[in-house]
Amino acid sequence: MDQDTLRQAVSNDYSGNGSGARRARKRSSGESSGDGQTLRSSGRQSTTRVKRSNNPPPGQSKRKATETEEEDEQAEKKYRKCEKAGCSAIYPVCFASASDRCAKNGYTSRWYHLSCGEHFCNECFDHYYRSHKDGYETFASWRKVWTSNGKSEPSLKAFMADQQLPFWVQCTKPDCRKWRQLTKEIQLTASLAAAYRCGMKVNNVKIEGPDQCSQPEDLRVAEVSESWWHSMLILPPLLKESPAGAFLSAYYPDCVGMSPSGSPCNVSMTELRAEPCRAVQPQIPGLCPYFQPFYQPNECGKALCVRPDMMELDELYEFPEFSRDPTMYLALRNLILASWHKNCKEVLTAEKCAQHIIVRGLVRVCCVQELDRVLHFMTRKGLINTGVLAVKQPLLPERYHSKKVIVIGAGAAGLAAARQLQNFGTQVVLLEARDRIGGRVWDDGSLGVTVGRGAQIVNGCVNNPIALMCEQMGIRMHKLGERCDLFQEGGRATDPAIDKRMDFHFNAILDVVSDWRNDKSQSQDSPLGEKVQEIKKNFLQESGMQFSDLEEKVLQFHLSNLEFACGSTLDQVSARFWDHNEFFAQFSGDHTLLTKGYSVLLHKLAEGLDIRTNCPVQAIDYSADAVKVTSSNGSQWTAQKVLVTVPLTLLQKNAIRFNPPLPERKLKAIHSLGAGIIEKIALQFPNRFWDSKIQGADYFGHIPPCPEKRGMFSVFYDLDPQGKQAVLMSIMSGDAVSAVGDLEDSEVVDECLKVLRELFTDQEVPDPLNYFVTRWSKDVWAQMSYSFVKTGGSGEAYDILAEDVQGKVFFAGEATNRHFPQTVTGAYLSGVREASKMAAV
């Protein structure tokens, strides 16, 4: 019922055919202060006169009309309606019964409206509000607590809603589920809400009688489901004992959906304003330290983090009704997020969350009803019920189920999307060209420890979904230390002061690049390498400084790290957009080594999925309603939607034919990105010859002897931090990739051993027992490591690649994730993103 219709109904109720018409109206908004087990009516029963004749004697009609008017006047004196415009309660009933003179269901000079089914009388108002009344001390004590903890007005209405309204609880019997009003003395707890059944013994009081579930539900409960009910609520719900409380102790509780009377604010806002840089994470026993779902006050720039006091844009789009007052939404969202992070190993259901919604009044019914929508939204978005979670029942209602989806590519993106969609209830088939899953994640155990031929490091663990999956599986990650000693050929360690000074100059050069690009258009772009050399030359000329030979070599080391990060020589990389993702919040915290590799996570994601290996897809025809996918051996599949997660290179080389061809806008974006390449070498030795010199560091650096050797084994990683196995891994980046491209593996190993023997002149470097060298550039199903923005390109290309075509063909992969490109995390999140889109379309 819309607002105008509601007001018209109320207007009709109080005018027209006298008291008889009012009494005859269906009573749907009755109130009671009892236990709510029986049906309550809002109207008063009275007899009405029935006319015996259609033609009364002269004068009698006028006399009858006068009597009716007098009856109405008497009724108005005896009973008073709620003055809140649009309130559906005909004859309000006081829920408080606090004053000896409480009007109960009789006359009061004024009714105070909390909701369409909940009012208190003027006498009970005075009982608490007037300083000479018995209830004043109770109200004053509450007000003191509320004022010290909260920000909202400690009004008497807020007091009544927070302290005096009765609780409502839902029967947990599946065939009942009726709502019951508890008596005033009963306090609702999560355990009571989780176990409540109609007629159960509460506080040693058991309701006698036959099957209590057969008793009808209070009529006011049905009104809560009406679209207008929420708009007639005077105060938003503020939860007590919310699971979010431990996460949000630095906030005003009433700004994040919690009651100030039950959620003490441990850090005053005065303190926070005095220390604007302070952003201390609360210590919650048993919580993974990498789980920080909420921004703390004065904190910003953290990936996958939400403001607990503000709705995100996608939330406002999904729930526009909360745009004016988001308190109820925030209360539910914060409760759900906190509950999920406290236990991410089990599916979070509405039933588990509902028992923690502790709030008085009918608004609890409203909160529990809204909970389903919020929970489904957060599940679809991959904010909860995600990772390697296995489910027995679909997580989303039937309306979210796509009939069938085909996912092409069983890398991190494809597996993430397929797992999400199958958990939602969608039928998924995953087609993989290789004879294995994982794509550019490929772990090798032949050297005695797990070595990632592809990715193995997690950059920034706070809120990283990789950390979430490790927590779900009980896998420990090895935190990488910050120490990285730089060694020159000849074995000499570089003075840390020189490294620090050149690191400063290196970052200063990049800062100048950032300033240069501010007013440059795409057509004015320049290769990053060229711009770096130009800025360096200008700086040396203007300052009159000259870098020493060693300082120049250290600078080359830092440039090789930049080429490693970009996956390319710097002459290919855009100076305007080389770090385009840094404009967005990135993952913070520890950098870690997955000692067991990424594969254990991806294989867990793959459990129970319908994966067809050795199925290279060569054509996608989306010209009809259904999409037809054809493999190289002629096999065909049809589905309503298809997700393409192949590496960027395969799209650039038209490895898959699209009919109709992809839009020109998407093709342009595909070719504006570069396919970066790095290669790895791993060597197993008979002993840990480096230990005495490295002294427990996780890695060490190699200063290139000349610019031409830049990127050739610039950093060596110790892949057994426990010190039992002797395995080193190193990287080839930039020009070094092409330099080793035509060498045999044994020749690459010889080059690497030459470097190690130059760095460890005081130790004997033995020949390796075993080794491998990667060849991603020649891998037919990859031909790349990760993407970068080419000169003249734009970071927007990632977003364009992520756009679906006609709501039928979708795209995922690291090269479609503008915020987190080049990483397994970015690939995984792109799959979660597309699963959400496909479920919603």
- Categorize the per-residue pLDDT at 280 as very low, low, confident or very high, splitting at 50, 70 and 90: confident
**To the nearest whole number, what is the mean pLDDT of the chain?**
89
Report the CATH number at residue 420: 3.50.50.60
Q: Which of 741, 757, 782 is the last residue of a domain?
A: 782
Q: What is the mean pLDDT of residues 259-279?
A: 57
Pairwise CA distance, residues 221 & 223, whole Å = 5
Same domain, 500 and 527: yes
Same domain, 254 and 291: yes
Same domain, 259 and 216: yes
- For residue 6, is it within any domain? no
Within 10 A of 77 (CB to CB), how many other CB atoms are there?
Answer: 9
- Categorize the per-residue pLDDT at 83 as very low, low, confident or very high, splitting at 50, 70 and 90: confident
Q: What is the CA 72 to chain-centroid distance, rounded?
A: 58
Three-point CA angle 812, 526, 531, nearest 5° = 115
Same domain, 639 and 702: no
According to DSSP, the β-strands at 591-593 and 478-479 are antiparallel
- What is the extent of the structural domain holding 422? 398-440+594-674+793-839
Amino acid identity at 328: M
Is a pLDDT exceeding 90 seen at residue 376? yes
Q: Which of 754, 782, 810 is the last residue of a domain?
A: 782
- Categorize the per-residue pLDDT at 794 as very low, low, confident or very high, splitting at 50, 70 and 90: very high
Question: Which residues, including other chains, have CB under 8 Å from residue 428's CB and lie 6 or more apart?
Answer: 404, 405, 406, 407, 418, 421, 422, 609, 610
Q: What is the CA 659 to chain-centroid distance, rounded?
A: 35
Pairwise CA distance, residues 596 & 600, whole Å = 7
Q: What SS3 class is residue 36? A: coil
Pairwise CA distance, residues 192 & 169, whole Å = 9
Pairwise CA distance, residues 815 & 802, whole Å = 8
- Which has more pLDDT, 751 or 59? 751
Question: Which residues, including other chains, have CB under 8 Å from residue 482's CB and lie 6 or more apart?
Answer: none
Q: Residue 63 phi/psi, 5° resolution? A: -65, -40
Same domain, 606 and 653: yes
Q: Report how many domains make up the chain.
A: 4
Pairwise CA distance, residues 597 & 444, whole Å = 9
Q: At what angle do helices 528-543 and 549-566 cross, to 10 degrees?
A: 150
Question: Which residues, including other chains, have CB under 8 Å from residue 253's CB and lie 6 or more apart?
Answer: 149, 150, 238, 245, 259, 260, 262, 263, 264, 265
- For residue 453, is it within any domain? no
Is a pLDDT exceeding 70 seen at residue 183? yes
Within 10 A of 15 (CB to CB), how many other CB atoms are there?
Answer: 10
Residues 764, 781 contacting (CB under 8 angstroms): no
- For residue 11, is it within any domain? no
Evaluate the omega torsion of the peptide bond into residue 660 and state whether it is cis, within 30 degrees of 0. Answer: yes
- Which has more pLDDT, 335 or 19? 335
Q: What is the mean pLDDT of residues 219-238?
A: 94
Same domain, 247 and 341: yes
- For residue 35, is it within any domain? no
Amino acid identity at 790: K
- For residue 762, is it within any domain? yes
Same domain, 256 and 371: yes
Q: What SS3 class is residue 650? A: helix
Q: What SS3 class is residue 611? A: strand
Question: Which residues, including other chains, have CB under 8 Å from residue 123's CB and lie 6 or more apart?
Answer: 94, 99, 101, 102, 103, 108
Is a pLDDT exceeding 90 seen at residue 747? yes
Q: pLDDT at position 69, please?
A: 54
Residues 573, 531 contacting (CB under 8 angstroms): no
Q: What is the mean pLDDT of residues 17-33?
A: 36
> Between the CA of residue 66 and those of 11, 18, 55, 61, 72, what are the distances in Å?
22, 11, 18, 9, 10
- Which has more pLDDT, 317 or 66? 317
Within 10 A of 9 (CB to CB), how many other CB atoms are there?
Answer: 13
Q: What SS3 class is residue 499? A: helix
Report the CATH number at residue 507: 3.90.660.10
Q: Mind listing the pLDDT tens digit for each residue in 96-109?
A: 999 999 999 889 99
Reported in sequence order, the residue ranges of 556-616 that DSSP labels E, i.e. its strands, are 591-593, 611-612
Q: pLDDT at position 37, please?
A: 39
Pairwise CA distance, residues 32 & 104, whole Å = 9
Reported in sequence order, the residue ranges of 362-506 that DSSP labels E, i.e. its strands, are 405-408, 428-431, 443-444, 451-452, 457-459, 478-479, 484-487
- For residue 199, is it within any domain? yes
What tokens were used for 191? 């355990």
Is a pLDDT exceeding 60 seen at residue 439? yes
Is a pLDDT exceeding 70 seen at residue 433? yes
DSSP element (H, E) containing 144: helix 136-149
- For residue 44, is it within any domain? no
Same domain, 574 and 715: yes
Q: pLDDT at position 58, please?
A: 47
Same domain, 306 and 220: yes
Q: pLDDT at position 379, please?
A: 97
Q: pLDDT at position 201, please?
A: 80
Q: pLDDT at position 68, please?
A: 54
Return the minimum-mean-pLDDT range out of 4-18, 255-269, 495-509, 679-693.
4-18
Q: Mind listing the pLDDT tens digit for each residue in 538-596?
A: 999 999 999 999 999 999 999 999 999 999 999 999 999 999 988 899 999 999 999 99
Same domain, 376 and 412: no
Q: Mind listing the pLDDT tens digit for each residue in 823-841?
A: 999 999 999 999 999 998 6
Q: Mind listing the pLDDT tens digit for each residue in 401-419?
A: 878 999 999 999 999 999 9
Query: Could you tell me which residues are beta bridge partners of residue 486?
Result: 701
Q: Mind listing the pLDDT tens digit for each residue in 488-530?
A: 999 999 999 999 999 999 999 999 999 998 888 888 999 999 9
- For residue 63, is it within any domain? no
Q: pLDDT at position 200, please?
A: 85
Pairwise CA distance, residues 309 & 577, whole Å = 33
Same domain, 134 and 188: no
Q: pLDDT at position 474, please?
A: 97
Is a pLDDT exceeding 80 seen at residue 638? yes
Percentage of residues in the chain having pLDDT higher than 70: 88
| Strand order through the sheet with 591-593 | 457-459, 591-593, 478-479
Q: Mind listing the pLDDT tens digit for each residue in 123-140?
A: 999 999 999 999 999 999
Question: Which residues, including other chains, have CB under 8 Å from residue 815's CB and lie 6 or more apart?
Answer: 647, 648, 673, 786, 787, 798, 801, 821
Within 10 A of 585 (CB to CB), how many other CB atoms are there?
Answer: 17
Same domain, 300 and 365: yes
